[in-house]
Structure 1
Amino acid sequence: MTPGIASAADVNIYTSRQPELIQPVLDAFTEETGLSTATIFIDKGLEQRVSAEGANSPADVIMTVDIGRLDAAKQEGVTQAVTGETINETIPAEFQDADNQWFGLTARGRVVYASKDRVDVDALTYKELASPEWKGRICTRSGQHQYNIALIAAYIEHYGEDAAREWVTGLRDNLARRPEGGDRDQAKAIFAGECDIAIGNTYYVGQMMTNEKEPEQKEWAEAIKVIMPTFDNGKTHANISGIALAKNAPNKENAIKLMNFLSSEEAQKIYADANYEYPLEPGIETSDLVQGFGEFNKDDISLSAIASHRDAASRIVDEVAYDSGPQS
């Protein structure tokens, strides 16, 4: 048995999410079913770990974030299909793998953080981020980070590779500095006056607003407003947290019970509220804090289609030397 996994657990979970973020929903699962869970946190190389363990892997399910990580697990061959289950019916098709190898659980928007003091617009398109109006005013993390790769991949799906290359080039030349840090660091830069707008995930705003351990992050959050940028269809790029059934799950039946539970209304609300995210099952209300970000009209293009453009998106980032910062 792999160190860190309790051999007596009914469902063994490998996750790249901090265990405390998923514990509330796992507790609810145990209360409802009587089945115990054990988690092992693997920040990097999760799919390689499962692959290396092979047929003896104790992993029953893989829980991670971002379409890139879910697709990487599928491509590594460490997942198996789930069909004919509740989760297949409750999670919208665009947030499932076309081959039933992974399923979204919650959504997050890739949005604009804008200075309350220095930005007087409340609506933007993704295309407009590359317009001259924003020259020298944008901050982002690395273009090669999985969250930005997913956004660029979505742009490719909407407009094609040539248009995406032009867009990423324009975005690069609107940067106030070389890309660095994480999404919260971009909010900090806006607070410090280093840039006026940034690209970040919605849930980080909730994390900053409620951060009692590092109260300075509340100041960063107070300095920004969330703008939901849109594609031509009027919708905003959505990424996910998700789950997959491990290829050699020793407790397959119990694992599928967990997957079905996590797609239920009760679990979706617990999980989304705990992480300042959006439930994927239609009709479930978000928390008051998340509602404060504004209406999130999730893009409904298939995440499987987005995943198919990840390599092209990464190549574009390198081709235009995005991470070197503005060049004109």
Structure 2
Amino acid sequence: MFKKYIVLLVVLVLASCNTTKPVIVTKKNTPRASVPTVVKGKPETYKPAKKTVAKVPTKPSVAVSQKSKATVHNVPKEVIVSTSKTVVTSDVIVLYVSKFKDIAMGNMRNYGIPASIILAQGILESGAGNGDLALSANNHFGIKCHIGWTGESVNHDDDASQECFRKYENPSESFKDHALFLTSRNRYAKLFENQKGDYKAWAKGLRAAGYATDPKYPDKLISYIERYNLHQYDDLVLGINSNIKIKEITDELNISNKNSVAWNSDSYEVQKGDTLYSIAKKFALQVEDLKQKNNLTDNALAIGQRLIVK
């Protein structure tokens, strides 16, 4: 009986040892499976990829900045070379035309010189009012002293050193003297045979008559006239354009319906073809008295302008 108990005890011990072995094996297999997972999760190429992406946006931003700076500084300018070198923008030229177009049209009516030519010469010779002679002497046409000039003068380098140029109290005197200069010299007489408003013939004729020595002088004048539409002022004076301005002037003055002189006891409205001399004669005045009453500095008149005559 005792032997049976010993055998049973041995069997139980052996059975308990066999059940623990699979547990040990399972614990050992678990860490082996996790090792390759940890190694695969460490890619070495991620950091270089991030650096490349970070650099891409910086290049376009620099290029745009440099381009915008170039645009800001690239302002269109024009160099005008006459008795001095002047750099101006187109806005300056437009302002010059606006300021002196009425005087130019008045001189065209009184002296027969195309307003477009007057303005183009003024732009070129005075640097659109910003040249040395224009600023120091109100000389807008580069007219030299010549024999017989008794007015003020300034010296300025041109074809020769320190040449004598005429000086004026104001620009309007320069415009008037320009008209008298062309109308009083025989060498320019042929210009007035051209068809009125033929600015191309006038530009070429001025060069041929010796007004300027620059062989490109006519081309420069024509370029200014056409780029800035200066011939429109010739058309306004001649009345050959059916634009709105001329129609308004015609309607206002009723030119087609009346030939009578429009005036009242104190003032007179300038009509087409009037001059200071003809108006002064109608009212028994001297030209200088008429100019003084109306604060006029030259003989330029505009259709529709009202003058004090009493």
Q: What TM-score, normalized by structure 1, do the two folds share?
A: 0.26
Q: Which has the higher contact order (CA 8 A, sep 6+)?
A: 1
Greater per-residue strand proportion: 1
Q: Taking structure 2 as the reference length, what is the TM-score of the superposition?
A: 0.27
Q: Larger C-alpha radius of gyration, 1 or 2?
A: 2
